[in-house]
Structure 1
Amino acid sequence: MWMASNYMFMNNNKTEYLPVIPKTATATALVDGSVIRVGDATITASRFVRNLGVVIDHHLDFKKQVSSIVIVCSFHLRHINKMSRYLPMVTKERVVNAIITSWLDYCNCLLYGTSVNNIARLQRIHNSAARLILRRPRRDSAMPLLCILHWLPVPQRIEFKIIAFTYKAVHGNAPKYLSDLVCPYKPARALCSANNNLLTVVRTYVKAGDNSFVVAAATLWNVLHVHSNIKTFACLATFEARLKTHFFLLLLRLSLMFVYFYRYFS
C-alpha cells in the first residue's frame, strides 16, 4: 500500500533479498531456492548483494567485498607500476592516494572486527603501494616505508575513521542517525569516571553485535581516554592530527617491544 500510494513499483529483475546466516548453519539449504513474495512479486534469495558499491554477503564476513577491493587495486597498481619510472615520487603518491587509498578507505568502517585474513589481504595491497612509491623491492619491510609516507596500516585506518565519526557525533556534527547511537556514560552514583567524557558500551551477545557501530564507537572512544587526552581538543582538524600521531606512537612502541623480545628470547 505504501509503495502504491507513492507511485513506486518493484522491479522484479533488480530486487533481491539477503538472508543473514551464521557460518555454523547449512547455508546452502537455507539460501538456494529460498523465495519470498511481496504482493504479486516473487523475490529470490541471494548469497550477496551490493549496496552503494559495498558487497555484503550472507555471512557478514565481507570476503566478497575484500576480494573485489583486492582485484581492483591490483589492476591499478600494475598499470601505475608501468609508468612509475616516468613520474616523480610526489606525483606517484598523489596517484596512489587518488586510486588505491580511496578504495581501501571507502566504507572501511564496515570491516571493523573482520577476520585477520581479510585485513592481511588489504594490508598487502597497502604495502605494495608504499613500495611502488618509494621504489623498494618486495623483500623490504613495509612498516618503515609506511612511516616514511606517514600512512597508517589498515587496522588503524579503520579505527581512525570510527573514532573520527564518534568525535563528530559527540560534538553534534554528525548526522542524527549516528548521534542517536552515541550515549554518554552516566554512572548511577558519583564516580571519578563521570568526568572522563566516556560513552556507554552496549552489551551484546553475538560477534556481529560487537562489530556494530554503537559498540565499536564506544569501545574505541573509551580506550582512547586511557592512553591520552586527545578528546579534549575542540577542533576536528587538530583532533585528527593528534589521533594519527597517537596511533603512530602506539605502533612505534609495539615495534620496539617486538624487537626487544626477539633479541632477548632468540
Structure 2
Amino acid sequence: MKPSGSLEDSLPPILLRDILPAVAPAVLDIVNSSFSSGVFPAAFKIAVVQPLLKKPGLDQSDCANYRPISKLPLIPKVVEKLALTQLTSHLDDNGLLDPFQSGFRCNYSTESAHIRVLNDILILTDSGSHVLLLLLDLTAAFDTVDHTILLHRLEFWVGVTGTALEWFKSYLNGRCFSVLVGDCSSPNVPLLWGVPQDSILGPLLFSIYILPLGKILASLGVNYHFYADDCPIYLQINQHHSFSMMSECLSQVRSWLSQNCLRLNDSKSDAIHFSPTKMKGALDVSTLPLNLKSCATSLGVKLDSDLSMSSQVNATVKSCFFQLRRITRLKSILKRPDLESVIHAFITSGLDYANSVLIGINASALSKLQKVQNAAARFLTNSDRRMHITPILADLHWLPVKFRINFKVLLYVYKALYCPSPSYLTDLLTPYVPTCALRSADHLLLVVLKVRYKSRGERAFSYAAPKLWNSLPLRVHLAPSVSSFKSALKTYFFSIAFPRDTFQDNLAPDLSF
C-alpha cells in the first residue's frame, strides 16, 4: 500500500513507514479492536478535501473547473486494506461479484475488459450484424450512494451479517469532511451520502451497490461490461425492430438508477455505431436519441466506427512523440541506463497500453507505432537516421511493436489457461480435442473459430489468440510459470525478429523490454 495520507495524520506517512516496527503492535490492537467490536473509530472518518484546477488556464472563479481531491489518514487505510482482503476473499470464494465487473479486481483490468468487448463487436460485425455501443456516464456516482441501500446489498446480496455488517454500518455513518484552500480550512461538514473518496474499500463497495444493474441488463439479453462506474452496453440492432430493444434497455437503466440515487449524465454518455464490413450506411441511426459519434473513448481507448483503431494509434503516436521531445532535455544529465528507464516509463508504457486490442491492425497503422519505437531507440543510442534500425533494436533487446502486441495477447492466453483469470476471457478459448488419437493431442492446441473477414473476425481475440497460440513451439506451451513463459516467449520472438545468423552471437535476448 502506498504511504499516502492527509493533513489529519499526526505523522507524515513516510516517517510512519520508517518507524512501523515500533508502532506495529499499537496498529494491530486498533485493527483487532475495530473488527471485534464492529466499530470503525470516529477519528478515522475525517476527510480533507482540496479543490484542484482540472487544467491549467481555466477560469479560477468558476467552481465547475475544479476537481475535489479527498484525502484520508493513513492508519484507517491499513484497517480498510485488511477489511478489503477479507471481503474480497468472501466474494471470490462464493462467486458473488458480477462476472463482467473488471474494476479494481485482482487479475482483471481495463485491458481485459477491452479484449472482451472488442472481441464481441468484431465477431458480431464479421457475421453481418450492426452493433450499437452505449458508453454510459454516471454523474458523481461514488458521491450519491445511499448508505441504507448499500447496507441492504451487503446483507442480502453478498451475505455480510452480524458484527461484520455492524462494522460496515459504522464505517459508512458519521463521516465528515473539511475543505482546505491554501492555509484556510472550513469547519467539518457531515457526509451523509456516498462511499468515501480516497478510500480502499470505496470502489469495491460501489461494485456491490450496482450488482442488480447487471442482472437487469442480462435479463434484457444485451451485452455489457462494468469497470467501477463505467458501463459500456452493446447490442445488435436492425431496422426491423426500430431500436426498441435499445430504448427498453435505456428506459430500464434510467429507472433503476433513479431508484438507487444515481443519475445518467446524458451530455457525457456517448454512442457509436459499428456496421458490417460491406454494409456501411445500410442502417439509418441518425434518429437515435443519443450523442452519436464516429469515434468515442472507452476506458482510455479510442474506438472508431470502422473499428480500424486509427484514432487510438494516432493518439498514442502523438502522446509518445510529445514525451520523447520532453525526454531529450534530460539526455545531458542522465546516464544511459537511467535514460533507458525513463524511455520505458513514458514511451514503452504508452506503446504497450491496451496494445492487445491492436492485434491484426493494418500495416500502415502498425508502421506509425514502430516509428515511435525506432525514434526512441535512435535517440537512446545516438544512432544516425540512415542506419538500419533492426541491428539497433536487437542490440537493445527491444522486441518490435508487432511482436510486443502478439506477446501481450499470448500472455493473456497463458494466464487464461493456467492462472486465475476473468471467466469472460477463458470462455473465449476452447482446447482442441481430436476425434482420434493423434500426436497433436499432446501439443496443447486451441480451437480456431471460422470467421469471414480479415479486418473483423480475424482480429477478434477468440480467433487471433488461438491461432497465435497454436503457432508456438511446444516448449513455450509447457512453461511452468508466468515468468518462465514470458522468458521463453521473448526468446522465441527474438529469434524470429532478429535471426541469429544476421547478428553476432552475443545478441541473445534478455528479459528487459
Question: Of residues 391, 401, 425 in structure 2, which corresponds to 1:144?
Answer: 391
The answer as to whether partners of 2:303 and 2:309 remain within 8 angstroms in 1 is yes
| CA contact 1:34–1:44 (8 Å) conserved in 2 | no
Matched, 1:13 2:287: no
Q: Output one character per residue of 1:215-242: Cα deviation in whole Å (capped at 9) or x when no partner.
A: 11100010003xx521111111011011
Q: Does the CA contact (< 8 Å) of 2:295 and 2:303 recur in 1?
A: yes
Report the CA distance between 1:77 and its aligned residue: 0.8
Q: Does the alignment pair 1:192 with 2:446?
A: no
Q: How does 1:198-213 map to 2 (within 5 A)?
A: 198-207=445-454, 208-213=456-461
Q: Which of 424, 433, 439 is residue 177 of structure 1 equivalent to?
A: 424
**In structure 1, distance between residues paired with 2:463 and 2:264:** 35
Equivalent position of 2:147 in the other structure: none
Offset of residue 202 of structure 1:
1.1
Q: For the residues of structure 1 that align with 2:481 and 2:408, how far apart are their CA atoms?
A: 16
- C-alpha separation in 1, matches of 2:337 and 2:491: 22
The whole-number CA distance in structure 2 between the counterparts of 1:202 and 1:96 is: 38
In the TM superposition, 1:1-266 aligns within 5 A as 1-6=252-257, 7=260, 8-22=262-276, 24-25=278-279, 34-36=286-288, 42-207=289-454, 208-225=456-473, 228-253=474-499, 256=502
Determine the C-alpha separation between the residues in 1 that align with 2:495 and 2:327.
31
Residue 9 of structure 1 aligns to which amino acid in structure 2? Answer: R
Find the counterpart in structure 1 of residue 191 from structure 2.
none
Give the AA of the match of 1:223: S
Whole-angstrom distance in 2 between the partners of 1:23 and 1:204: 13
- Single out whichever of 101-110 and 73-82 deviates more from structure 2: 73-82
SS at match of 1:19: strand
Q: Per-residue deviation at 1:64?
A: 0.7
Distance 1:182 1:26 in 2: 30
> Quick one: distance in 1 between partners of 2:352 and 2:479?
24
C-alpha separation in 1, matches of 2:264 and 2:501: 55
* Distance of 1:248 and 1:15 partners within structure 2: 43
Give the number of the structure whose residues are more often strand, by fraction: 2
1:44 corresponds to which letter in structure 2? N
TM-score by length of 1: 0.87
Alpha-carbon distance in 2 for matches of 1:122, 1:169: 27
**Aligned partners of 1:35 and 1:44 also within 8 Å:** no
TM superposition score normalised by structure 2: 0.46
Partner Cα distance (2:403, 2:305) in 1:
26
8 Å contact 1:77–1:129 — kept in the other structure?
A: yes
Contact 2:446 2:470 in 1 (8 A): yes
CA–CA distance in 2 between the matches of 1:94 and 1:107?
Answer: 20
Aligned residues: 248
Judge which range, 17-26 or 140-149, deviates more.
Answer: 17-26
For residues 153 and 78 of structure 1, what CA distance do their matches in structure 2 show?
21
- 1:190 deviates by 1.9
Shift of 1:177: 1.2
For 2:501 and 2:463, the matched residues in 1 are separated by 28
> Do the aligned residues in 1 keep the contact of 2:272 with 2:292 (CA within 8 Å)?
yes
Tell me the secondary structure at the aligned position of residue 49 of structure 1.
strand
**Unmatched segments (≥5 aa) in structure 1:** 37-41, 257-266
Contact 1:230 1:243 in 2 (8 A): yes
**Aligned alpha-carbon RMSD (Å):** 2.1
C-alpha distance in 1, partners of 2:290/2:253? 18
Structure 2 stretches lacking a partner, 5+ long: 1-251, 503-513
Please say if residues 163 and 220 of structure 1, whose CA atoms lie closer than 8 Å, have aligned partners that are also in contact: yes
**More helix per residue: 1 or 2?**
1
**8 Å CA contact retained: 2:390, 2:498:** no
Q: Deviation string for 1:93-122 (max 9, x for gaps)?
A: 011000000000001111111010001000
Compare 44-53 and 3-12 and name the one that shifted more.
3-12
Structure 1 letter corresponding to 2:457: G
Secondary structure (helix, strand or coil) at the match of 1:237 reads helix
